[in-house]
Structure 1
């Protein structure tokens, strides 16, 4: 049995969850500027899509994003192994297997959260993925993101047995979304909110299996909540909070790694070269409309005076033909005017 390479503890402290329709390459570049030390994750990509689909689009990644993990969906060990190798060869720093998504499409394909009921299949998949990347010059870690269980299974021992079986296949890191997945009767959105959080299961797993890296995910909305998890686990993974309030990501990165806290406008202006290069396109890439980038920026002034003006200017103008960086400057100026008027 080949064990997956370990990841440095400091590289696991802070991460941003894989989120469908959200954590594309533009989002990740923005998050990297906010949080230089965070570990970033792609949206989930099915193994079949990696093998047969448009890799230039599905696996798009800017060099600034590192360290960034590719999250795969699927349930066939051979296909997952092939997709894992493709991802590693394209430069991703980690390959993560999704065992937590509860959507109807995922259930129909027998992957995602359904895999919590099939630990042997997950173990076989992980072993195949690890073996497929082991021959590379620089093998990358293969990790798992899971739930506590599915539906009405509320036994910690079942969850721990799942982890033990997958760990025996060589997986050394588990991202634990500390809720059950309810496969019937709840939408994916409700599955992120309704099933009760049980962080204590992730904490117990770390106490009982100290050789494993355990990352806590689910319901983390504030700096205080994220920091509290570090006393019991190896790291905290932010999901919707990092997207809807991205400056929280910057505050955490600065607090946990000792860097100075920078103003929102200053941080945003460091994105200008990337935005302008995307708008211009290249021989290998078509120009990207501004709206595909600015949709990820809307929450930067969340909870701040001027935040509404910032969102309004970007939302109303980014879809217009010819929209460019000047619109972002206009949004910042509108925000500053609102702040000054309130002072």
Structure 2
């Protein structure tokens, strides 16, 4: 299949400032809620953050106060939408922009059975014209950047030309920024978890896309696990998006933020204590500590006392009346390990 050279679209999505795409945290279902994003913002002031995927229908008809919950400190933060009906996606994009999101991202990469049944997510890689129509409608409906997160292909389609054609058709509709999860999505025979691990990573496709379409912003996603690897991607693409590594080892986000944007590294305890006003404000609103603490469990990943930190929060945060004192108790025990090692 010959690659299509993009023609100028009738409307072009606004550009995202280059520094804002350098470091980002992937949208992750059941993980990247507002509490998680506030925590990530505290440890990585320059990272671009993403919501969990929300279906366009839910945005239009559902509980927006819950689904679109966002604290002002989160900016810049993007709303990721799922769906395949251009008119509904446009309406949801307009709502998202009105609620203050800095970007609307269309999910073309999720491989779950539920997503396939609804004709959205990764299966949209097979329908580039529908994605282009959807993107054009979204761009026409809101003033913030409209972006796409996609895979390299689906199932046993392994031709770069097909991937490039998908990107070109969507770019021709006005999209200028693509987050590329550098694996295929297997829609048959693999679970969503396996789809994040089994299909081989091919970062070179994302790099080649950037070389051949230098006018597009290309962010690399998939399997990025440490500072050295993340930094290497910046030699070939506009940014690196971390997923599970950012969640399970959030201090990595802080180290990347410092390495790429400057400043001094702060200790894990100092970063966590900076979150205290937010946590106490949420508790006063009736939020249970467990809903916040679950996002903090990996902060001491790989450190002495990290297991004790996780254990105290895991066992205590769900109990009635659990408050900031529990977090201080977990920190004190963790710090006692460090003091013992230093003695």
Q: TM-score scaled by structure 2?
A: 0.97
User: 1:297: which partner in 2?
Assistant: 296
Q: CA deviation at 1:342?
A: 3.1
Rounded to whole Å, the distance in 2 between the matches of 1:288 and 1:5 is 37
User: 2:6: which partner in 1?
Assistant: none
**Which of 257, 279, 282 does residue 283 from structure 2 map onto?**
279
Report SS of the residue matched to 2:51: strand
**Which of 222, 227, 234 does residue 230 from structure 1 map onto?**
234
Q: CA deviation at 1:157?
A: 0.2
Contact residue 298 and residue 311 of structure 1 kept, 8 A:
yes
Report SS of the residue matched to 1:143: strand
Does the alignment pair 1:202 with 2:206? yes
Report SS of the residue matched to 1:19: coil
Structure 1, unaligned runs of 5 or more: 134-138, 282-286
User: 2:76: which partner in 1?
Assistant: 67
Contact residue 309 and residue 338 of structure 1 kept, 8 A:
no
User: 2:225: which partner in 1?
Assistant: 221
Structure 2, unaligned runs of 5 or more: 1-9
Q: Which 4+ stretches in 1 moved above 3 angstroms?
A: none
Rounded to whole Å, the distance in 2 between the matches of 1:49 and 1:260 is 41
Contact residue 122 and residue 166 of structure 1 kept, 8 A:
yes
Q: CA deviation at 1:338?
A: 1.8
Q: CA deviation at 1:341?
A: 2.5
Rounded to whole Å, the distance in 2 between the matches of 1:101 and 1:141 is 21
User: 2:192: which partner in 1?
Assistant: 188
User: 2:182: which partner in 1?
Assistant: 178
User: 2:30: which partner in 1?
Assistant: 21
Q: CA deviation at 1:259?
A: 1.2
**Which of 6, 24, 33 does residue 15 from structure 2 map onto?**
6
Rounded to whole Å, the distance in 2 between the matches of 1:22 and 1:175 is 19
Q: CA deviation at 1:337?
A: 1.3
**Which of 106, 125, 129 does residue 120 from structure 1 map onto?**
129
Report SS of the residue matched to 1:215: strand
User: 1:284: which partner in 2?
Assistant: none
Q: CA deviation at 1:339?
A: 2.0
Equivalent runs, 1:146-185 vs 2, <5 Å: 146-185=150-189
Rounded to whole Å, the distance in 2 between the matches of 1:209 and 1:264 is 40
**Which of 65, 73, 89 does residue 56 from structure 1 map onto?**
65
Report SS of the residue matched to 1:153: coil
Rounded to whole Å, the distance in 2 between the matches of 1:108 and 1:79 is 17
Rounded to whole Å, the distance in 2 between the matches of 1:340 and 1:181 is 47
User: 1:339: which partner in 2?
Assistant: 338
Cα RMSD for the two superposed structures: 0.5
Cα deviation 1:185-219 (Å, max 9, x = unaligned): 00000000000000000000000000000000000
Contact residue 276 and residue 325 of structure 1 kept, 8 A:
yes
Rounded to whole Å, the distance in 2 between the matches of 1:51 and 1:240 is 29
User: 2:271: which partner in 1?
Assistant: 267
Rounded to whole Å, the distance in 2 between the matches of 1:214 and 1:68 is 18
Cα deviation 1:126-165 (Å, max 9, x = unaligned): 00000011xxxxx100000000000000000000000000
Counting matched residue pairs gives 333
Q: CA deviation at 1:340?
A: 2.2
Rounded to whole Å, the distance in 2 between the matches of 1:259 and 1:58 is 34
